[in-house]
C-alpha cells in the first residue's frame, strides 16, 4: 500500500481540518488497542504507528475518504474504542486510521417495533441511557459496554451480558450500512451479515447499525454459591431443563464476588 505523502496530508487537512491528525505523539496511541502487543508477535508486524488519523462525522465523509484512499492506494483501518484487546484495530499497514468517535449519534428509536438505528461509533452505555428515555433497554451488551461501540462489537463479533437469552450479537442485528472498499454503500441484512460480523472491517467500514431492543423491565438479581465445578454444571443444566426465565447468567469466582460487592452497580451492569 502507498505511503501518506505531504500531498496526501494537505488533502486530508483540507477535507477534515482539525479532525485530521498527524502529530506523532497522538499517532503512537493509535498503534495499539487496549492491550500490549505480545512480545512474540510484535517482531512479525513491525511498526504499527499510523501515518494519519481521520475522524469523519457523516457517512458522506466516510464515502469520500474511502474513495480517495482507494484511488491513492492508502490503507484504512477502522477504529471504535479499541477495547477488545485482540489486535483488530492495529494498523499493520500503517496508512490512515479511521476513528469513529464522532459518528456516535442515535439516529432513530422505534418503540413499537423495538429497534434502534445508530451510527457505528455510539457507545453502548450512552445508547442504553437514550433507550431508557423511551422505556426500552438493550437485549444484550458486551462486558466493555461503558467504553465500547456498537459498530466495534459487530466487527469483532461474539456474545455478552444477556446472551443467555438473546444469543449472539449478530443474531440481534437487523441490518448494517457499510461503505465498501470502492466507496459504494451497501445495506447488509439476514445471512449477509455473516460477511460483516467478525470480519473486523475487512469487508468494509460499518457506518450504521440497526439492532433489536426490548422493553425496560425491572430485573431480580440472584446469587448462588456452588462448592465445586460439578455442582455449577448441574445447576446450569437444571436452569436449562426447567426453561427458567433467566436473562443473563454470569460466573464469577469468590474473589471477584468479594470485590464486586464493594462497588455500586452502574446502570449498564444489569447482571
Query: Domains along the chain?
Result: 6-100 (3.30.43.10), 106-215 (3.30.465.10)
**With 70 as the cut, is the pLDDT of residue 268 above it?**
no
Residues 85, 33 contacting (CB under 8 angstroms): yes
Q: Per-residue pLDDT tens for 238-247?
A: 999 998 888 9
CA-closest candidate to residue 170, choices 137, 211, 130, 133: 211
| Percent with pLDDT over 90 in the chain | 75
Mean pLDDT over residues 7-28, rounded? Answer: 96
Q: Which helix (H) or strand (E) holds 6?
A: helix 6-16
Q: Residue 250: what pLDDT?
A: 84
pTM above 0.75, yes or no: yes
**Angle formed at CA 179 by CA 178 and CA 183, multiple of 5 degrees:** 160
**With 80 as the cut, is the pLDDT of residue 269 above it?**
no
Q: Residue 212: what pLDDT?
A: 98
Q: Residue 259: what pLDDT?
A: 85
Q: Per-residue pLDDT tens for 164-216?
A: 999 999 999 999 999 999 999 999 999 999 999 999 999 999 999 999 999 99
Lowest mean pLDDT of 49-58, 80-89, 121-130, 153-162, name the range: 80-89
| Cell numbers found for residue 30 | 493509535
Residues 215, 137 contacting (CB under 8 angstroms): yes
What's the full length of the chain, in residues? 271
| Cell numbers found for residue 110 | 422505534
Q: Per-residue pLDDT tens for 77-109?
A: 999 999 988 888 999 999 999 999 999 999 999
CA 240 to CA 242: how far, in whole Å? 6
**With 60 as the cut, is the pLDDT of residue 59 above it?**
yes
CA 58 to CA 34: how far, in whole Å? 26
Q: Residue 222: what pLDDT?
A: 83
Mean pLDDT over residues 21-46, rounded? Answer: 90
Amino acid at each position: 500500500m502507498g505511503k501518506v505523502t505531504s500531498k496526501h496530508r494537505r488533502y486530508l487537512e483540507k477535507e477534515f481540518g482539525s479532525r485530521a491528525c498527524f502529530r506523532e505523539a497522538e499517532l503512537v496511541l493509535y498503534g495499539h488497542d487496549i492491550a500490549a502487543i505480545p512480545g512474540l508477535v510484535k517482531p512479525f508486524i513491525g511498526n504499527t504507528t499510523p501515518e494519519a488519523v481521520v475522524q469523519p462525522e457523516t457517512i458522506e465523509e466516510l464515502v469520500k475518504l474511502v474513495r480517495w484512499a482507494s484511488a491513492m492506494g492508502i490503507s484504512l483501518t477502522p477504529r471504535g474504542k479499541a477495547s477488545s484487546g485482540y489486535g483488530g484495530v492495529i494498523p499493520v499497514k500503517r496508512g490512515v486510521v479511521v476513528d469513529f468517535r464522532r459518528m456516535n449519534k442515535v439516529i432513530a428509536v422505534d418503540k413499537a417495533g423495538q429497534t434502534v438505528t445508530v451510527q457505528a461509533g455510539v457507545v453502548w452505555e450512552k445508547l442504553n441511557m437514550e433507550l431508557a428515555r423511551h422505556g426500552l433497554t438493550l437485549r444484550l451488551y458486551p462486558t466493555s459496554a461503558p467504553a465500547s461501540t456498537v459498530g466495534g462489537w459487530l466487527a469483532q463479533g461474539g456474545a455478552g451480558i444477556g446472551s443467555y437469552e438473546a444469543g449472539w450479537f449478530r443474531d440481534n442485528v437487523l441490518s448494517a450500512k457499510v461503505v465498501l472498499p470502492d466507496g459504494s454503500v451497501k445495506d447488509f441484512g439476514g445471512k449477509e451479515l455473516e460477511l460483516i460480523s467478525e470480519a473486523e472491517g475487512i469487508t468494509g467500514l460499518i457506518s450504521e447499525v440497526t439492532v433489536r431492543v426490548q422493553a425496560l423491565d425491572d430485573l431480580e438479581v440472584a446469587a448462588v454459591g456452588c462448592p465445586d465445578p460439578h455442582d455449577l454444571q448441574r445447576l446450569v443444566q437444571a436452569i436449562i431443563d426447567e426453561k427458567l426465565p433467566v436473562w443473563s447468567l454470569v460466573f464469577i469466582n469468590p474473589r471477584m464476588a468479594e470485590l464486586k460487592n464493594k462497588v455500586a452497580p452502574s446502570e449498564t451492569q444489569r447482571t
